[in-house]
Chains A and B, each alone.
Chain A
Amino acid sequence: MIRSDNGYFGEFGGRFVPEILLPALTELEDLFFSLRDDPAFWQEYVTLCQEFSGRPTPLTPLRRLSGQLGGAQIWLKREDLNHSGAHKINNVLGQGLLVQRMDKKRVIAETGAGQHGLATAIMAARLGLEATIYMGAEDIERQYSNVFWMRQLGSNVVAVETGAKTLKEALDEALRDWAASVETTHYVLGTACGPAPFPELVSYFQGIISDEIKEQSMRQMGRLPDEIVACVGGGSNAMGAFGAFLDDHEVALVGIEAGGISFEDGKHSVRLSHNTGETGIAQGYKTLFLQNADGQLGDTHSIAAGLDYVGVSPILAYLSQQGRVIPESATDDEVTEAFSLLMKTEGIIPALESAHGLAGGFKRAMQMRPDQNVVINLSGRGDKDIFNIARAFPQREWTGFLQREAARSTELLAQKRGH
């Protein structure tokens, strides 16, 4: 896995935080540096992932779909089969091991689609920690099922009402909490962004994905894949899927960003691929941000709450600048199409975030030969998107059910109050 030069990857990365957060970041970095080369620590992490999250996740060949598209053989790395339903749990379980070593009793997290919040709530419940999850009010509306489960698991979910009320504002608010609570609280940052050491640390734990892809490809394909494709929001599943292959130059690494509705400002979340992002310093680190000429961070859009982010991993910004990672994007429409295609042809329900990887990966596979192999990282499952999908494919039957269910739950509440 890639290593930073004092927190930097080329010109990107660094640690631009209010002074108050510095001691905690240094403490975390010292701990991480003392553990990351220790095989016993890695084994402890792998064992935890096996016992609790069902790793290794399978590498599934899509025989029917590959035949139908007529290009390369497509394989899915099944991060959707993790406990909690997404790759986010890998990083969280890893950070849980660090929290125990630092002896902190409270954790906080930001979340976009809610998968990282859910994973953090699960970890906190399992380790007996107090947890507060910051989530944009807009994202809460988009991903209510995850909010429901976080609260059932005992976490305090705080709706962030500032700005556009999405992931960026949730991250700001988590940093504000941390400034006041840093001595007793660990901030479980959910993606390969933010101040050092988070980009490196999150990529380290997510690297378990590419370690497994490598081994499984050798076993199942007899060689390394020709391409690996992953969706890119903050960049943690992409860094996880790419990490072990950075030096294998015959393996192309492709990151798919959220193309949204169009390339107009505020209608997409594309930072790497179309010169839409520009170098900036915010939220604790230097990377390509969507921003205006005055350096104000911009608004973003994606059908997938988890990709709707204004910055991107400094490691991916660097790798894409170096030409090692190929950045592309998929629009909302291409994504719903790929979503539907996978579901109907292979019986797998993908998350809308991951369906960006599918849309980009299918397109590339069609340009390739049948003796080639493409691995797409299916970072999460789609159950959480039931309401969004229902909106993308409106059906009278579903609306009727919601109305009856709303009536039933109103009645139940009234009865409860009556007692």
Chain B
Amino acid sequence: MFPAQFDKLQIMSHAVVGFPSLEENEKAITGLADAGVKLIELQVPFSDPVADGHTLVNACYEALKHGGSVRAMLDLATKVCARHPEVTFVLMSYLNPLYRFGLEDLFEQAVAAGIKGMIVPDWPVEEIEPWLPKLDALGLAPILMVTPNTAPQRVEKIARAARGMVYVVSRMGVTGHETQWGEKFQNYIAEIRKHTDLPLAVGFGVRTSDDLAALNGKAEVAAFCSQYIEWQRDDGSEVAAAKMKSIVQTIAAA
């Protein structure tokens, strides 16, 4: 389940399907679930991930060499959704792999696998709107992105089409760099809250426990992704899971 509005901050973490390998994905996800992570994105790797910074670009490149695909994501989802019922799994992908798979088939099979939502950064709200009746009937939540330069009217339009959560891109740029959480950011969050009762998931630049402390009480979800993938890349999935555990405990205690 997605959190309710104003629930205590929780962490959403990440798996790139096929990085470092398909077998390792399962272990890594068990590690995240044991660490207490309740929301996990399953990213379908793509050859041209334009919204991602170098950490995820390189992870995608590796993942493609190790069999990452929409099909592999569905297979992985089927296993991990059954194994970790307390975790909500969200599909993350660029549009083309899904489009090639067939959108309608993909939606149905994702739901059958146990996926609850999807994040597709290069799929604008105008193109999603015609699919809303189908998505609502299936119970697959399109988690749409709002960015600091999105005009208020457009925030309203996006908020109307979003389900589950609104993904708040914290700053200009791509994933994997630092972000400031000052007054400007708080005004930005307040502006979005005017248009939606959905919980807010803040992503892009959530890298340290200081970032999480700053988000506590301001958002319901913090997407802790690139940093986790860097830990996984540099130290392996077990160490990465241990680090996540301490992060999860810190925010639970806060």
Contact = CB atoms under 8 A, between A and B. Distances in A.
Interface string A271-299: 00000001011111000010101111100
A23 B121 contact: no
A215 B70 CA distance: 53
Give the dominant DSSP class at A's interface. mixed
B96 A18 contact: no
Contact of B50 (A172, A180, A278): A172
A175 interface: yes
Contacts of B169: 19-20
A281 B97 CA distance: 9
Given A23-B150, A179-B51, A295 B100 contact: yes
Interface in B78-132: 94-101, 121-124, 127
Nearest to A161: B54
A16 B121 CA distance: 9
Nearest to A294: B69
B187 interface: no
Interface string B43-63: 000111111011001100100
Interface residues of A, number: 34
Nearest to B64: A296
Interface in A9-25: 14-20, 22-23
Given A14-B127, A162-B61, A294-B70, A20 B149 contact: yes
Contact of A176 (B50, B69, B100, B144): B50
Contacts of B51: 18, 20, 176, 179
B151 interface: yes
B32 to A, nearest CB: 25
B172 interface: yes
A18 B121 contact: yes
Contact of A291 (B53, B100, B146): B100
Contact of A282 (B48, B53, B61, B101): B48
A169 B60 CA distance: 14
Interface string A121-132: 000000000000
A182 interface: yes
Contacts of B69: 294
Nearest to B95: A281
B248 interface: no
Nearest to A23: B149
Contacts, number: 111
B150 A293 contact: no
A20 B149 CA distance: 7
A77 interface: no
Contact of B97 (A18, A180, A296): A296
Interface string B65-81: 00001110000000000
Interface string B161-181: 000000001001110000000
A357 to B, nearest CB: 28
Nearest to B173: A180
B100 A18 contact: no
Max count, chain A CB within 10 A of own CB: residue among B124, B151, B154: B124
B147 interface: yes
B131 to A, nearest CB: 14
A181 interface: yes
Nearest to B167: A19
Contacts of B174: 176, 179-180
Contacts of A163: 47-48, 61
B61 A291 contact: no
Given A16-B123, A16-B124, A176-B174, A283 B50 contact: yes
Contacts of B172: 20, 179-183
A168 interface: yes
Contacts of B101: 294-295
Given A18-B50, A181-B172, A280 B145 contact: no
Interface string A163-177: 100001100100110
A175 B173 CA distance: 9
Given A23-B150, A175-B50, A296-B47, A282 B124 contact: no
Contacts of A172: 48-50
A182 B150 CA distance: 12
A295 B72 CA distance: 13
Contact of A20 (B49, B94, B147): B147
B124 A17 contact: yes
A338 to B, nearest CB: 32
A13 to B, nearest CB: 12
Nearest to A279: B99
A280 B99 contact: yes
Max count, chain B CB within 10 A of own CB: residue among A15, A280, A293, A295: A295
A278 B149 CA distance: 34
Contacts of A281: 95-96, 99, 122
A14 B96 CA distance: 14
Interface of A: 14-20, 22-23, 162-163, 168-169, 172, 175-176, 179-183, 278, 280-284, 289, 291, 293-297
Lowest 10 A-B CB distances belong to which pairs?
A295-B100, A180-B173, A295-B97, A20-B147, A295-B96, A18-B51, A296-B47, A294-B69, A297-B47, A175-B50
Interface of B: 46-51, 53-54, 57-58, 61, 64, 69-71, 94-101, 121-124, 127, 144-151, 154, 158, 169, 172-174
27 contacts: A16-B95, A16-B127, A18-B50, A18-B51, A19-B144, A19-B145, A19-B169, A20-B149, A20-B173, A22-B154, A23-B149, A162-B58, A163-B47, A168-B48, A172-B49, A176-B53, A179-B51, A180-B173, A183-B172, A280-B99, A281-B122, A283-B48, A284-B50, A294-B70, A295-B96, A296-B46, A296-B64
